[in-house]
Amino acid sequence: MDAELHQSVLASLPLGICILDPEGLILDANPPVERFLGLTLAELRGQSMASTVMCAVADPAYALWWSVMLAQAVTVGETTYIDLPTEFFTGPGRDQRVSLVGMGAPWIGVAGQRLGTLVLLLERLALSQDRAQRDHFLSVVSHELGVPVTSILAAAVHLSSHVDPADRDASKLVHILLAEANRLRSLLSKLLSQVDKHSRSSEPEERPVPLRPLIRRVVETGCLRQNGRNLVADLPARLPLVYVDPDGVLQVLNKLVDNALKYSPPGTHVVVSALARPSGVLVTVFDAGPALPAAEARQVFRPLYRGTAAQHVPGQGMGLTIARNIVRAAGGELWYEAPATGGNRFCFTLPTTAHTTGKEDDGTQ
């Protein structure tokens, strides 16, 4: 009778209720959750709630935010409120949208023990008001960040006009500072351009770009913080153009290189390589550090997850989650491999498109 009552209550509620185990995997859900996420209960059971939400949210930035908040509810056991209305893809073909807010709360047994997490999803219909709140938030954040970024860029330009061209090390540092300051300004411009647009306005600005200069740029800046490691690029003479948002690719490459430099022993090599394939371009970042244990390798992309080697290294456990989200938004995939010869290899694919066929990055840029 208890089980029958449990199912009756779940089915009768108009809001979505999802029951998660201590690892954040879905145990049960009611019909509104199936409708909101566009999946049946059979498809939902056993899946990570955070990962499922990341695939369902229309805006990649909001998807990341939901994933972080849900992961916090699961790992910390605190009640979290996701009160900024967010559009989800819904319907059998994921061709419709619904605006939701949510909450994660501990699921406590009758004896007071924690059994898992309850996630509540509530539909919001006032989309115009929701968008106005989001646009106001983006505008304020962009303008507040714009002032210091403009100051940094101005200082870099001033430095570049006073550096001695004969001082190659100083010239290189100023060149890197200018490039990174301009990248920050570009990111802020994209954020500002989202204001007053619809929910898909946050999609990356993808275009055909040469990959070799992006990799060389990351290796060049990474060499400043290699701390005894040897960071190198291993690239073919030619690569097809990739259809991506270049700022997103730089963010992914910087994160993977940073991790490789942090976790590999001094005196070893970190190698960034790329290879053309029929389906796109394969990029790999290899380091000679200890391979991840199999159990950790399966969880390394989970939000807020930190392995044993990361416990004494600063970080929040979100970098790889963000990187995978960026790659997937571009139509590629990011994964981890442990080579048989040792070390670690993170691999990701980037797409090429029909209108770039015949065009190549010939290494001249």
Tell me the CATH number at 96. 3.30.450.20
- Quick one: 214 and 328 in the same domain? yes
- Quick one: 246 and 185 in the same domain? no
Strands 280-287 and 269-277 turn out to be antiparallel
Residue 322: which domain range? Answer: 207-361
- Quick one: 17 and 118 in the same domain? yes
Q: Using CA atoms of 211, 216, 218, 220 in order, give the dihedral in degrees to the nearest 10.
A: -170
Number of structural domains (the chain) is: 3
Region 322-349 average pLDDT: 91
- Quick one: 309 and 333 in the same domain? yes
3-state class (DSSP) for residue 311: coil
Distance, CA of 125 to CA of 362 (rounded, Å) = 51
pLDDT computed for residue 21 by the predictor? 93
Q: Which of 202, 237, 264 is the last residue of a domain?
A: 202
- Which of 37-51, 145-159, 256-270 has the lowest average pLDDT? 145-159
- Quick one: 135 and 231 in the same domain? no
CA 40 vs CA 29, 45, 117, 119: distances in Å: 9, 9, 20, 17
pLDDT tens column, 193-247:
655 444 344 445 678 999 999 999 999 888 877 788 999 999 999 999 999 989 8
- Quick one: 283 and 219 in the same domain? yes
Q: Which of 153, 186, 202 is the last residue of a domain?
A: 202
- Quick one: 38 and 149 in the same domain? no
pLDDT computed for residue 234 by the predictor? 94
Element (H, E) at 188: helix 168-193
336, 346 in Cβ contact below 8 A? yes
- Quick one: 307 and 351 in the same domain? yes
The two three-digit tokens of residue 195, written as one number: 């204001």
Evaluate if residue 335 carries a pLDDT over 50.
Answer: yes
pLDDT computed for residue 118 by the predictor? 93
Q: Which of 91, 125, 159 is the last residue of a domain?
A: 125
Tell me the CATH number at 292. 3.30.565.10
pLDDT computed for residue 200 by the predictor? 42
- Quick one: 211 and 350 in the same domain? yes
pLDDT tens column, 101-137:
889 999 988 888 889 999 999 887 544 455 556 665 6
- Quick one: 23 and 166 in the same domain? no
- Quick one: 153 and 174 in the same domain? yes
- Quick one: 222 and 298 in the same domain? yes
149, 157 in Cβ contact below 8 A? no
pLDDT computed for residue 344 by the predictor? 95
3-state class (DSSP) for residue 193: helix
CA 5 vs CA 8, 9, 132, 178: distances in Å: 5, 6, 41, 64
Region 266-283 average pLDDT: 94
